[in-house]
Structure 1
Amino acid sequence: MSSPETVGSSVVDEAIDRIKRRIESGEFAPGQKLPPETALASDLELSRLSLREAVRALTMAGVLEVRHGAGTFVTDLRPDRVVDAIGRFLQLSHDTGLRELFECRRVVEPGATSLAATRIDEAQLAELGDRIERMRTLRDPQELVAEDLAFHSGIVAAAGNRTLQSLAGTVAQRTARARIWRALVKDDVLTRTHQQHNDIYRALQDRDSMAAFVAATRHVADVESWVLGRLHGVADDEDVR
């Protein structure tokens, strides 16, 4: 016999599926307000409790949006919105998946950097150059975190793909940057990191997509190797980014 928890999950899954089918069919279009709870529950042949749980899950997934005082609406269903929702789940996780997150960075960031090399404009290049110079003068880990995140975020933004930007940002925020920079400062390996940032910048400046891909890959792989080799020491710090 199934446990109450299993039965409950199955009912909620069915409720989610019924709402999703209405959205996929176009009956509930992007931006449309859903019917009142009582009417929708009756129409979908669901209990109000099951409907509420399904709405909560779909809201967390970025599919629905609850506007207090106005009702529940289907979102515009942009891919970047859904990726942002995934990011909110990741923010609740711990760093046990640090290795997997670095693997994600190796897949996402070099490709985004390569694409940025074909699309970046002079103003964006100038901003990246300014950030590199600021990072060169900093030693405070928290300040370095902010500049480092902004540097890599600026590159992905230059690629002009909002979904890619959301995905890269989600991964970047979860790779323990505060702890990494603190360890980098402590071990005095900042020069190598700054040089790798410069290599990426020069490739972007030359609009060389292949060089940009290689430079970004080398940078992410080098940081990954360095961090994972010192994982236990890095994990002692309490700051998580």
Structure 2
Amino acid sequence: MMGEGRSLTEEAILRLKAMILSGELAPGERLPVERELAARLGISRSSLREAVRALALVGVLRTRRGDGTYVTSLEPGLLLEATGMVADLLQESSPVWLLEVRRMLEPGATALAAARMSPEELSGLRECLERLERAPDVEELIAADDEFHARIADAAGNPVLSSLLRSLAGRTLRARLWRGVSDADALERTRLGHRAIFRAIERRDPELARAAAASHIAEVEDWFHRGAPA
């Protein structure tokens, strides 16, 4: 029986989700043919099609033309891709909201990276910092800035945390670009903030790394609170 207040498509989505969570449909597995699956779930084929389309949009299912529909790998990066699109579509005060979320997540990721980053990862982060220092213009500096933070998030060793932080980059990337163009001192402050973060990670000091990342993000956030447009 359909759940109270739920549409047929929502019910179909929930039943497919239950099959995946129970292991009846495993990552990478092909779904049964439409007629068979609809009968098994007790739903119409049209509701099943709508449910499949919805789950494909959020990275749970993938349809291969001429081959059927499969459960994806269900990796965090794939499932959280939609978060980035939602973040980009936020309007009005969204840069400040997203920076507040970054302030809650990124210092913790930076602390984890200070404890877990391999020598090879640290070397890559150093090279990224050097590119940031040498960047001749705002666009190249921001590209290096984005890579710097992505490397730290990946080195934290938590794919969910890394994917969430990457999903916030689109909107905040544009915000940093605006800031670099409109604030003459912003580029040097950005370099100083990244140097402090790198030194803390290099020293393998998680709490110092946490504080450096929090200070860096709070400085950008404060600039927006003082009235910068999105």
> If the length of structure 2 is used for normalisation, what is the TM-score?
0.88
Give the whole-Å Cα distance in 2 for the aligned partners of 1:195 and 1:14: 52
**Partner of 1:72: helix, strand, or coil?**
strand
**Contact kept in structure 2, 1:65 and 1:73, CA below 8 Å:** yes
When residues 185 and 89 of structure 1 are mapped into structure 2, their CA distance, relative to the original with a 3 A threshold, is closer
Structure 2 unpaired stretches of 5+: none
Deviation of the 1:194 alpha carbon: 1.0
Match among 179, 183, 187 for residue 183 of structure 1: 179
Corresponding residue of 1:206? 203
Kindly provide the amino acid, as one letter, of the partner of residue 180 in structure 2: L
When residues 132 and 23 of structure 1 are mapped into structure 2, their CA distance, relative to the original with a 3 A threshold, is closer
Deviation of the 1:102 alpha carbon: 0.9
**Contact kept in structure 2, 1:139 and 1:185, CA below 8 Å:** no
Kindly provide the amino acid, as one letter, of the partner of residue 62 in structure 2: E
Give the whole-Å Cα distance in 1 for the aligned partners of 2:38 and 2:67: 18
Extract structure 1 runs of 4+ deviating beyond 6 A.
none
Percent of residue pairs identical: 44
Please state if 1:60 is matched with 2:76. Answer: no
1:153-164 residue pairs with structure 2 within 5 A? 153-164=150-161
Give the whole-Å Cα distance in 2 for the aligned partners of 1:32 and 1:13: 22
**Contact kept in structure 1, 2:103 and 2:217, CA below 8 Å:** yes
**Contact kept in structure 2, 1:110 and 1:217, CA below 8 Å:** yes
Deviation of the 1:196 alpha carbon: 1.0
**Contact kept in structure 1, 2:95 and 2:175, CA below 8 Å:** no
**Partner of 1:73: helix, strand, or coil?**
strand
When residues 207 and 158 of structure 1 are mapped into structure 2, their CA distance, relative to the original with a 3 A threshold, is same
Q: Which moved more, 1:202-211 or 1:156-165?
A: 156-165
**Partner of 1:165: helix, strand, or coil?**
helix
Corresponding residue of 1:219? 216
Match among 37, 53, 62 for residue 40 of structure 1: 37
**Contact kept in structure 2, 1:141 and 1:178, CA below 8 Å:** no
**Partner of 2:59: helix, strand, or coil?**
coil
Q: RMSD of the TM alignment (CA)?
A: 2.0
1:109-188 residue pairs with structure 2 within 5 A? 109-175=106-172, 177-188=173-184
Deviation of the 1:148 alpha carbon: 0.8
> If the length of structure 1 is used for normalisation, what is the TM-score?
0.84
**Contact kept in structure 2, 1:61 and 1:82, CA below 8 Å:** yes
Deviation of the 1:181 alpha carbon: 3.0
Residues matched between the structures, number = 225
Deviation of the 1:15 alpha carbon: 1.0
